[in-house]
Structure 1
Amino acid sequence: MIESPNILSPKISQSSWVVDIERASISWSNKEAKWLFSHFFEGEDLAKFIIDAALLQRLKSFVQSQPLGATLQFIWPCSTLSKERVNCIGTVISLGASNRGVSVKVQSLTVNERPVLADSFTSEWSSLDIVRCFNSLPMAVFDGKGALLDMNRSFSQRFGSVEQIEDLFVVSSAAHGIMAMLSSRELHTQEIRLSTVKGVRWQQIEVCYQAASDRVFLLAHDIQEERDHETVLYRLNNYDPLTQLPNRNLLYSQLERALVNARKRNLKFGVLSLDLDGFKVVNDTFSHRVGDELIQQVAERIKSTIPQSACLYRLGGDEFVIVQEHASGMDELVDIAQTVIKHSIKPYPVSKMEMMITASIGIACYPQHGDNIDYLLKNADAAMYRAKSISHNSYFIYEEAMADTIRAHLTLGGGLRKAIEEEQFELFYQPKIRLSDKATVGAEALIRWMHPELGMISPDQFIPLAEESGLILPLGEWVIRRACYQLKEWREQGYPAISLSVNLSGRQFMQSDLVEMVSQVLAETGVDPRYLELELTESMLMADAQQTIEKLHAFRALGLTLSIDDFGTGYSSLAYLKKFPIQTLKIDRSFVNDLGVDSDDEAIVKATIAMANSLNLKVIAEGVENHSQIEVLNGYHCEEVQGYLFARPMSHDDFSVYMNSHLMGASMLSAVH
């Protein structure tokens, strides 16, 4: 039972409503406000109420100039009697997205009281007189046994033909319960679903019993829109609009209940933090629309694979949390993680592609890994980061030392911008070898972060942070500029000309002025463009094939060399591959690793090289580490290789020594012949 204002003595001070500034309307109001407006502003449907223009302008100026939570005192002018003054206080609130509104509450009402029938039910007035006095609100009169005696037009229009009070109720026993309750009290208020001419709708009913005349007076307020509005607001506040999964708000609510229950009954419950591997690349390469579709399918698959007793939440982006209450132990939580991982390796059909995306999972259990909610979530996150750093599509159980992982993540993220400004980065160089004569014909530039306190940090640790923060753009520009200056330096030192390749990230390739930036750097350094090679991934090229073709032709017009990196691991279409102005394919190391051992990998490498030859493309195999791989690649007529068998990535100084012993010697030998 919900208490509400008396029909005759409404609690005006509890009146509250919301003004939508953008739509110049009242978007929500409680039942007290509806009563207030119906008696003093002549209108129960507040959605159609016209707000005073001067007041609306004042509220609009206030909302535009003040932050959320700011308050303003003002008078809400009445539209009928000039002597009535409603003193209000307004608070700036968010109505979703960028829209703002004002939450209004009544502080006091100064008014020359109009006649309100304060004692009508104890007077000698007839039922008809009372009903007519409330003609604007649906009201009916029944005898003590529930038979209809009278009703006004509003009541008839809303409920149609009624003979007994129980005709109004969806469940007739509810009517009998209310009638029985009135025998011990004079007034009853309740929110209940009633049968109307528009179907079953929520109503706020106020039922009053007049013992002297054995009459029951029933006043009804339609609150269906209010209920619908509350439902919409509840879903907006507590559910993810993309996946329809509960969000962080409901996660904390469940965890709070689970914590209280576990402490009281000495139970366990588990928290699994789940993050998709490489989802940022999908968004940047294929667009957010494709990313959203993938997230929806991932959510559906996870939900279908976890136990019915477990709950899945989406916190945003590619972050999910699974909560398993009443967990029997760590084995049960591990089983859930293994099941999710097992099913995550299956492809997702998205936008006419077969996409694969895996997940890293961290596990924390109460009370073993934390005695409060924040610790459990933080520790599950730490375990997830450890799983992600070791290998994708894996899980990890929290350990005490993992807290350092989060601290390192935050430290690296916070220092990345400073590192770019202070140029704490350095390019390392890995040679490319021509198989026919083992000559060094090029190198790949690989970035390293030389942190002043942590030492050298590998790209695996900071590139994802750069992608997430958008700092990959200035960092990528620094790499291209530094590579061009390195080519210039080698030329000025008299080294034989070799090519230098630079990897582009998906977000960098989507940069609108990328071609102009590269052109400017080439002009600035005076480097011959044919010695600068840009490496792009398959998935990057297929994000927007037509735009990609235009951008690639613009690069070719500058004279650059273009290659597809990690070929065979993405989603490229052979039909488009013919249209891309590419000169080189790099076979991914995953296919090279088992050459001479795995016949399937040999078949893939052989087919790739044959296809490249038919398209007049050069082939480079990366990740070469032993001579048996060289024998297979030579047999298939692969032109160039790159890998630890010949040289690891080297610093500038070490690569200069390498060039002196390899390139200069080769140049002198060529001159003798």
Structure 2
Amino acid sequence: GTVLKDVDTIARIGGDEFIILLEDIKNKAVILDFAQEILQLIHKPLEMNSHTLHLTGSIGIAIYPDDGLKILDLIKHADDAMYHAKSLGKNTFKFYTKDISQAMKRRLEIEKALRYALNNDGFSLVYQPKYNLITHEIIGCEALLRVEDDVLGPISPAEFVPIAEENRLIISIGEWVLKNACEALKSWHEMGLLIDTVSVNISSIQLQEEDIVDRITKIVAASGLKPENIDLELTEYSVMLQTEKSIDVLGDLQRRGFCISIDDFGTGYSSMSYLNKLPIDMIKIDKVFIDELILGNKEVSVTKAIIALAQSLGYDVLAEGIEDKRQEDILREYSCIYGQGYLFSKPLTFNDFVSFVRQKHKGDDVNMFYI
């Protein structure tokens, strides 16, 4: 059956976007019930060619006359609310508010800043060392993207990454990061710095590209590096969203020699048994668990269990966000071999990273962990 009445209207306005006009609505509760029913219908599993498909929807709602007197204003405001709903995790709905308009204005400004930076070499990278907690040797570094706009100022990854993914700008941005991280590592090798690997974050959106394996391989080869020099990091949440095709892509990358790491592990609620089915080399435990180590909470035993189980499955384990010497001592006691965080170094610019590594290799340990 349908949830639409004879007086209601539905129209497709593009790709996967539709407008529904509801008439003779008594109160907001009716709209709320309608939106929930639509989402439930969309979310019902679909069987197609022996595969089960799960769809999600995002709904934005604007009400006449509260949210606009003209049809174009109502459509724009409903669209703003829809994008806001989508940013909250999809398969939800939001009523329009003036605050949403401000949020959408900010979103458009950030998108504009990203496009400008991409076309005008306006991005920069910083590098955070990764350590062997037993020997205190630097085993590599993570390349982190920084975006700073002349008008907006610094824009945090928490803001710009979802926007870049939504507009698929993340594909070009991701390739820029990989290319420049490879060039940095190659330069360090030519300087004689003993840095074997650099890690770059990769989006699940990138894995959907048909030729992504060849594109990544070519970028690395063009820099004169080998796949073994590159660690590709995906968040635990994005890994949980992977299709069979994307998992095959990860497997292909791993077979070519790339290291595959799961970033922010512990926050995505995936099971270790599920991860065991994926082509993974390293698990990076999220900072939230590391923060709990010196507080004596139950998360301490969870962290210990994650380390033990991951290692039993053959994964390397790295602890993120180490800020206190006591955290390092506990992790070492739990046999966690690798770590990174402000205890050792904040993310550094290219030149500062060179100075930092050279100081470390000279054996000058005075205050070197606290930069």
TM-score, normalised relative to structure 1: 0.43
Q: 1:535 aligns with which of 221, 228, 233?
A: 233
SS in 2 for 1:616: coil
Conserved 8 A contact 1:533-1:563: yes
Aligned to 2:145: 447
Task: Tell me whether 1:507 sits opposite 2:205 in the alignment.
Answer: yes
SS in 1 for 2:161: helix
Aligned to 2:362: 668
Could you tell me which amino acid in structure 2 is paired with residue 507 of structure 1? I
Could you tell me which amino acid in structure 1 is paired with residue 76 of structure 2? K
Distance in 2 between residues matched to 1:393 and 1:593, nearest whole Å: 32
Distance in 2 between residues matched to 1:508 and 1:358, nearest whole Å: 20
Distance in 2 between residues matched to 1:377 and 1:636, nearest whole Å: 56
Distance in 2 between residues matched to 1:387 and 1:562, nearest whole Å: 32
Conserved 8 A contact 1:383-1:402: yes
SS in 2 for 1:666: helix
SS in 1 for 2:27: coil
Distance in 1 between residues matched to 2:136 and 2:82, nearest whole Å: 44
Q: Deviation at 1:553?
A: 4.0
Distance in 2 between residues matched to 1:435 and 1:611, nearest whole Å: 19
Structure 1 runs (4+) deviating above 6 angstroms are 313-316, 318-324, 333-337, 347-351, 355-363, 387-397
Q: 2:273 aligns with which of 574, 577, 592?
A: 574
Q: 2:332 aligns with which of 629, 634, 640?
A: 634
SS in 2 for 1:602: helix
Conserved 8 A contact 1:483-1:502: yes
Q: Deviation at 1:486?
A: 0.7
What are the superposed Cα offsets for residues 56-79 of structure 1, whole Å, 9 maximum, x if unpaired? xxxxxxxxxxxxxxxxxxxxxxxx
Percent identity reads 33
Task: Tell me whether 1:551 sits opposite 2:255 in the alignment.
Answer: no
**Which segment drifts farther, 362-371 or 443-452?**
362-371
Are the structure 2 counterparts of residues 548 and 399 from structure 1 closer, same or farther at C-alpha, using a change threshold of 3 Å? closer
Q: 1:407 aligns with which of 83, 97, 105?
A: 105
Distance in 2 between residues matched to 1:549 and 1:562, nearest whole Å: 7
Q: 2:25 aligns with which of 304, 325, 339?
A: 325
Q: Which has the higher strand share?
A: 1
Conserved 8 A contact 1:515-1:554: no
1:51-450 correspondence runs (5 A): 250-251=8-9, 317=16, 325-327=25-27, 365-382=63-80, 398-400=96-98, 402-413=100-111, 416-450=114-148
**Greater C-alpha radius of gyration:** 1
Q: Deviation at 1:480?
A: 1.1
1:600-639 correspondence runs (5 A): 601-626=299-324, 629-639=327-337
SS in 2 for 1:544: helix
Distance in 1 between residues matched to 2:341 and 2:321, nearest whole Å: 5
Are the structure 2 counterparts of residues 544 and 591 from structure 1 closer, same or farther at C-alpha, using a change threshold of 3 Å? farther
Are the structure 2 counterparts of residues 363 and 447 from structure 1 closer, same or farther at C-alpha, using a change threshold of 3 Å? same
Aligned to 1:132: none
Q: Deviation at 1:632?
A: 4.3
Aligned to 1:520: 218
Aligned to 1:463: 161
Distance in 2 between residues matched to 1:528 and 1:411, nearest whole Å: 38
Q: Deviation at 1:409?
A: 3.2
Could you tell me which amino acid in structure 2 is paired with residue 554 of structure 1? R
Aligned to 1:472: 170
SS in 1 for 2:101: helix
Could you tell me which amino acid in structure 1 is paired with residue 233 of structure 2? E
Are the structure 2 counterparts of residues 532 and 359 from structure 1 closer, same or farther at C-alpha, using a change threshold of 3 Å? same
Task: Tell me whether 1:564 sits opposite 2:259 in the alignment.
Answer: no
Conserved 8 A contact 1:541-1:572: no
1:3-42 correspondence runs (5 A): none
Are the structure 2 counterparts of residues 626 and 375 from structure 1 closer, same or farther at C-alpha, using a change threshold of 3 Å? farther
Conserved 8 A contact 2:231-2:261: yes
Aligned to 1:3: none
Conserved 8 A contact 1:419-1:425: yes
Distance in 2 between residues matched to 1:618 and 1:397, nearest whole Å: 46
Higher relative contact order (CA 8 A, sep 6+): 2
Could you tell me which amino acid in structure 2 is paired with residue 577 of structure 1? N
Could you tell me which amino acid in structure 2 is paired with residue 664 of structure 1? R
Distance in 2 between residues matched to 1:632 and 1:356, nearest whole Å: 42
Are the structure 2 counterparts of residues 371 and 359 from structure 1 closer, same or farther at C-alpha, using a change threshold of 3 Å? same
Distance in 1 between residues matched to 2:344 and 2:85, nearest whole Å: 32
SS in 2 for 1:607: helix
Are the structure 2 counterparts of residues 366 and 591 from structure 1 closer, same or farther at C-alpha, using a change threshold of 3 Å? farther
Could you tell me which amino acid in structure 2 is paired with residue 327 of structure 1? N
Conserved 8 A contact 1:542-1:548: no
Q: Deviation at 1:428?
A: 2.5
Q: Deviation at 1:483?
A: 0.7
Are the structure 2 counterparts of residues 398 and 605 from structure 1 closer, same or farther at C-alpha, using a change threshold of 3 Å? same
Q: Deviation at 1:612?
A: 2.1
Distance in 2 between residues matched to 1:624 and 1:334, nearest whole Å: 48
Q: Deviation at 1:502?
A: 0.8
Gaps of 5+ in 1: 1-242, 254-312
Q: Deviation at 1:315?
A: 8.8
Distance in 2 between residues matched to 1:450 and 1:603, nearest whole Å: 40
Conserved 8 A contact 1:362-1:397: yes
User: Over aligned residue pairs, what C-alpha RMSD do you find?
Assistant: 4.7
SS in 2 for 1:480: helix
Distance in 1 between residues matched to 2:341 and 2:71, nearest whole Å: 47
Could you tell me which amino acid in structure 2 is paired with residue 551 of structure 1? D
**Which segment drifts farther, 450-459 or 568-577?**
568-577
Aligned to 2:189: 491
What are the superposed Cα offsets for residues 502-541 of structure 1, whole Å, 9 maximum, x if unpaired? 1121232233333333332333222354332111343365
User: Aligned pairs, how many?
Assistant: 352
What are the superposed Cα offsets for residues 583-637 of structure 1, whole Å, 9 maximum, x if unpaired? 21112345445444541x3343222211222233210122445556445433322
